[in-house]
Structure 1
């Protein structure tokens, strides 16, 4: 008989799959042993038990790859540590390309893998046939082979993690179902069991797989995920199939092949998936399979038989259909929920839960212990999610698409087809009439570019995109006349109250004791000096500040400000009534003066603001620019946005007004070397590393990171720089392209775009040099950037490639 449950614990983990057991294991390893893991039925009984057990190392970013690499290392040593076999074995993996774009993608991945320390070989069709005897390589253009990838037994690996956790002092209890998380004044303080018992806790972790959404919703937290049906079959033993083979992936046919004890497991990530559990998950769900749907799987099977003809004669031992959890953006959910403090989440692993379990469990345990993320985890941070994504209708719709994304081509500008039109600007219909090609960010439909009639708007490529000519037109208008941007998706936060200045001085790097109507570019910082947000601040009154933030980080920024302001006598408000237009280009001043008849505008200094009127429309005019030309941001009431836009567009012939989208804006910011949070900046990058030391007021005595910043200022070993490839046929970069000085890897790109004004392929890059990244060092070295296996000479510098002295901007 089990011992009675204690009435409290330091940490309670809900869910006994591989993720929950990994978190318990890693907490115990940190010395946090007052941990109780509660499993409603039996360990692994949700989705872990039926996982294919593939363990790959390469992910979409360096930190995600580090976590996957750690999983491989952990699974390799776990049996020796615990005495519980895991079934882990090194098999390697192959991914094949059946078209030129996939081959380009795999070539880029191979370059990235080697930069991340992952062994990866580019292979031919004949190499693939040698590694996978019996494979039909017709149509195969090439591929990649990762020898360090592997496979594991999901159940045995979970039991090994559970045993390791118990060996260190953690408690694991099965047949113990949690009814709800107990919330006290916005904080998770324990759990209530279905028996009515309550267990108190300092921290609660939801690692409950497809049950997590429901438990989080009851607790008042946003955790968008939904189950989908996931199919595979296992054959009878095949002749000559006894030797270990690499995992074989053919994403263009949505299929993966796994050798399993002389049998073949064939699985699929079909493009149109079947959501499951819309009416809820059955209470008695435990090691359950879902009804077979052979018609759904048959197209993948037919292609697989052509690809591996031996499959045609094989008997099918098992045709399996089981649920797995998928998220709106196909990346898992990790971290402390912003709505409920001390409530952590690790769920929605999109069929990569086994390979992610080691790394995700480790960093979440570190997050709990440190009370902050241990590294840049924005890719998977729960704070990137939004409330509109948490509705049943949205999740059902998006899940039909998200399952297949794992094997779809990963275009850098790919847009979702499902769950669209959640948030529309008041200008939406007007801009659509002018040819806007919309993209979605945080639910907002925003114009990426403006197409002329008959221009291609659907094609994706790693080469010259179909919007190249449109962005050229828009960039020329920015440079020569005037461009109009719909920036209504930018949130404006109002900080107001007697201690608003004290709060702003504490949380920002710059000195915010500025004049009313003055603007400041600055960053919200954490106590390590890391950048939590990249913002512009306007002081509107002696006790009121307006912060303009980023659309994608709205929820994250909101909670960071609200939580930070708790110790100050001030309020934080989202000004949903205010919206912004960008008016950028050399003719912007003349146009704005014409609209307002306000002569003060001609003399308005850079980073100053003025309240004026366009006849009957009150406007706050902020002189600043994110595109490197003279320009203004016009802040107006939401109900006046359309009228003001129509008046500006009516002056098209007189002033050369052109509508411009976010692709052109991004290209211009790259030419100026302006940083972007989430790509170039993160909470793990400080202003000095970012090249933003000018945004730190070193005379301030009371700030969240005052003393830390003094120490960081002396470290010049790592810095963001601007990069350009000079060749006319230069490839377009994306991110994480490696930069070499001779044979030494010295950095990676962080974001990239084509510069339409400078006619060059550009990037921002993080480079390292133990003796200091200085302008002199950059000039003295010869650098190359590797793109898709080819190295290109490149120029690295601190200053911008366009208008480095800011004459166009400030003139």
Structure 2
């Protein structure tokens, strides 16, 4: 078979990723798709995968992808007549500590919202199910009958066969030598096989080259932060282990195992991993390293304790090969900075299990412009420019690998490759005892430990109330959070939000083009601030931001810290010229009833301009753009200045605020107060899978213009799109819940039942210190009304909750819109 001169799409890589993408592109009707593989199919990293499939994951999207993949296997078998390698033996996940039991209960609650069939077993019940196990130290186990394992080679071959039957041409023994880029867009692939060379013209190219994806990306000047890490597992000699043995994960002992050829395959995530440092990853087929049994000792000893029979069994095979890890242990999917050049890489940990889902997502993204699922957590664009640093990616990936089986508590911060990006006021924050978090490599204040004590003379002085939440919500917590909230309510809080992503768009076509992609009405006078969403064709929310009209032909968009690269790419993909000015401006937010007094001591300008307006003012000697907006429900401004003035501005505001009782404050206080006001967070309460109507944001949608997604919303004047967890067929709306027990606090993902039946999951939750309530949000049937009762599962305990009209705090928004008395 001869390579064509042109193709509609070229897929680079013949492992499960490439084969799945090619299959799904063809299934969506694309012809002239070719797949090229340097060696034979699966001979990169796919062939030596252990093949575990665990459907219960930490996010709904991961779980949906794996559940979709499970449904794909019978389809492949019917289409090709080939065995796709699926072994549906079920899976056990063991818990040997009280902390791991809590995690298991949270996971079980999440599983209910996903519609997974699972049970929580005792240790004895787990032992009865699998008598090989030593279970005296097992406190609980999750049993998932839909889990199992895959033969990686059989799956890839079945996908390849299915792709071929749908018209995909597959070329093995074909190496990529170059990627042609013209005007920022991919135009073709240069290939060689033996002494022959080809050039294939294509405006869609997918890099699915496993551990070699980074090298291939560099041929086009693109950074794909894949870090090859050495991973090891062993296979024992046969000792009559039944093929029906369920898979077992024992995360407290960093080990996993399953049946293999009548023996047991044993693997683990060691604490001291090593990268594979080479300029030519996967240059040779079926690459393996020498066995390193000393490094594997902890995993093996853990396995022997769990399965004593292993101590009497010999090891017949050691598989020590490269795995394609990423800085956060998640996939790298989506379009790169070169238009038409896509990545489907980073198949570490659960790549094989989700291979079908990856193919589905990538094909929908390429063909339709956006996938069905919310994939931001896997989007290549979740990283900024720092991801091109090999040392940064390596440090993050090693940390991710070494802690893969650790319990990750919400709000827990990791220290690898930090600090990196810092506000001009960072040094002052450190002096005040700031507890820092990290997002998109920005150091951000979670809270100031110096705020932990009540202010002298405050109602709580000398009698600080104990409001530490129970369970997980109280693990990473400080009384300072409460004090910062109350100071903002009673006087003022000063928040450093320099990490805000800031994008600028200008030119004579700026308004016209922004009007097309923004659902809100932007044709307002200069100095106006508009809250709006960017929607996809289905009406789903791709971004949630503010747009400030700086001049007739100049606009500044402000979006979340981690979303700037994503949002800029979305805008560029719709024809806008975007400049990322995040690092050019510091931003401090001064909010609270004394904010006007405080800023008035530093500025002679008129500060009484209205809500959702912006003005250029001077604060002391510093030029500032003041925007009268809030994310905490109090009067005040976002204050932007050129970054070189940032430290001076912070110092001036701190000095001016001290006599008024102002406190510096952090993001945990912001999150508490935004819940009280019902302000949504993208990626949690709103996603590409939810519409503004469902999310209660219809007020932000213009009725007097056309925009991307409008037709979908109009069709959605029909019953709106169904939430995946709601099997009733009813349209859904985001609802505010108040839990009966204020110390039971939701963190997101908890199951919600209505009438004793599964109804939804919590999108976000927390404690509102100004209203003294435990608050949660969840999508519920549209007919749900204030006063209706539901139950929320918080770490295995069902807590009653009341659907409540929102916002809970200052319902008329007088504190925001009116000048302080």
Same fold by TM (over 0.5)?
A: yes
1:480-538 CA-to-partner distances (Å, cap 9, x unmatched) read: 11111111111222222222222232222222122222222112233433322111122
What's 1:679 paired with?
684
What's 1:720 paired with?
734
C-alpha distance in 2 between matches for 1:291 and 1:785: 51
Q: Identify if the C-alpha distance between structure 1 residues 573 and 94 changes in structure 2 by more than 3 Å, giving closer, same or farther.
A: closer
Deviation, structure 1 residue 249: 0.6
1:710 aligns with 2:711: no
C-alpha distance in 1 between matches for 2:291 and 2:69: 32
What's 1:167 paired with?
165
C-alpha distance in 1 between matches for 2:162 and 2:756: 42
1:273-317 CA-to-partner distances (Å, cap 9, x unmatched) read: 2111x2323564211211222221112222222222211111111
Consecutive unaligned residues of structure 1, counting only runs of 5 or more, are: none
What secondary structure, in the 3-state scheme, does the structure 2 residue paired with 1:119 have?
coil
What's 2:727 paired with?
none
What secondary structure, in the 3-state scheme, does the structure 2 residue paired with 1:25 have?
helix
1:580-635 CA-to-partner distances (Å, cap 9, x unmatched) read: 1011111111101112144x22x332222222212311122211110011121111
What's 1:259 paired with?
259
What's 2:517 paired with?
507
Q: Please, which of 760, 773, 776 is the counterpart of residue 763 of structure 1?
A: 776
C-alpha distance in 2 between matches for 1:638 and 1:243: 63
Q: Identify if the C-alpha distance between structure 1 residues 466 and 203 changes in structure 2 by more than 3 Å, giving closer, same or farther.
A: closer
Q: Structure 2-normalised TM-score?
A: 0.93
C-alpha distance in 2 between matches for 1:128 and 1:180: 53
C-alpha distance in 2 between matches for 1:622 and 1:247: 56
Q: Report how many residues are paired.
A: 790
List aligned pairs for 1:175-324, cutoff 5 A: 175-194=173-192, 195-238=196-239, 240-276=240-276, 278-282=277-281, 284-324=283-323
On the 8 A contact 1:35/1:170 being kept in 2, the answer is: yes
Deviates more, 1:10-19 or 1:675-684: 675-684
1:613 aligns with 2:618: yes
What's 1:797 paired with?
804
Q: Please, which of 377, 380, 385 is the counterpart of residue 378 of structure 2?
A: 380
Deviation, structure 1 residue 203: 1.3
- Output the aligned Cα RMSD: 2.1
On the 8 A contact 1:246/1:258 being kept in 2, the answer is: yes
C-alpha distance in 1 between matches for 2:231 and 2:441: 27
Deviation, structure 1 residue 175: 0.4
Q: Please, which of 336, 340, 343 is the counterpart of residue 341 of structure 2?
A: 343
What's 1:516 paired with?
526
What's 1:663 paired with?
668
What's 1:806 paired with?
813
C-alpha distance in 2 between matches for 1:527 and 1:575: 28
On the 8 A contact 1:722/1:762 being kept in 2, the answer is: yes
1:17 aligns with 2:18: no
List aligned pairs for 1:548-587, cutoff 5 A: 548-566=558-576, 572=579, 574=581, 576-587=583-594
C-alpha distance in 1 between matches for 2:571 and 2:158: 42
What's 2:466 paired with?
none
1:416-465 CA-to-partner distances (Å, cap 9, x unmatched) read: 3212222111111211111111111111111111124999xxx9971413
Deviates more, 1:61-70 or 1:438-447: 61-70
What secondary structure, in the 3-state scheme, does the structure 1 residue paired with 2:14 have?
coil
Q: Identify if the C-alpha distance between structure 1 residues 52 and 409 changes in structure 2 by more than 3 Å, giving closer, same or farther.
A: same
On the 8 A contact 1:186/1:341 being kept in 2, the answer is: yes
On the 8 A contact 1:784/1:794 being kept in 2, the answer is: yes
What's 2:639 paired with?
634
On the 8 A contact 2:97/2:139 being kept in 1, the answer is: yes
On the 8 A contact 1:229/1:324 being kept in 2, the answer is: yes
1:410 aligns with 2:423: no
1:747-774 CA-to-partner distances (Å, cap 9, x unmatched) read: 222122222222222222122x3xxx15
What's 2:328 paired with?
329
1:495 aligns with 2:505: yes
1:180-200 CA-to-partner distances (Å, cap 9, x unmatched) read: 222122222221013431011
List aligned pairs for 1:136-155, cutoff 5 A: 136-155=134-153
C-alpha distance in 2 between matches for 1:560 and 1:366: 16
On the 8 A contact 1:136/1:306 being kept in 2, the answer is: yes
Q: Structure 1-normalised TM-score?
A: 0.94
What's 1:355 paired with?
353
C-alpha distance in 2 between matches for 1:233 and 1:461: 38
Q: Identify if the C-alpha distance between structure 1 residues 86 and 615 changes in structure 2 by more than 3 Å, giving closer, same or farther.
A: closer
Deviates more, 1:463-472 or 1:657-666: 463-472
Q: Please, which of 27, 35, 38 is the counterpart of residue 37 of structure 1?
A: 35
Deviation, structure 1 residue 76: 4.2
C-alpha distance in 1 between matches for 2:810 and 2:651: 31
Q: Identify if the C-alpha distance between structure 1 residues 779 and 762 changes in structure 2 by more than 3 Å, giving closer, same or farther.
A: closer
Deviates more, 1:606-615 or 1:169-178: 606-615
C-alpha distance in 2 between matches for 1:706 and 1:381: 25
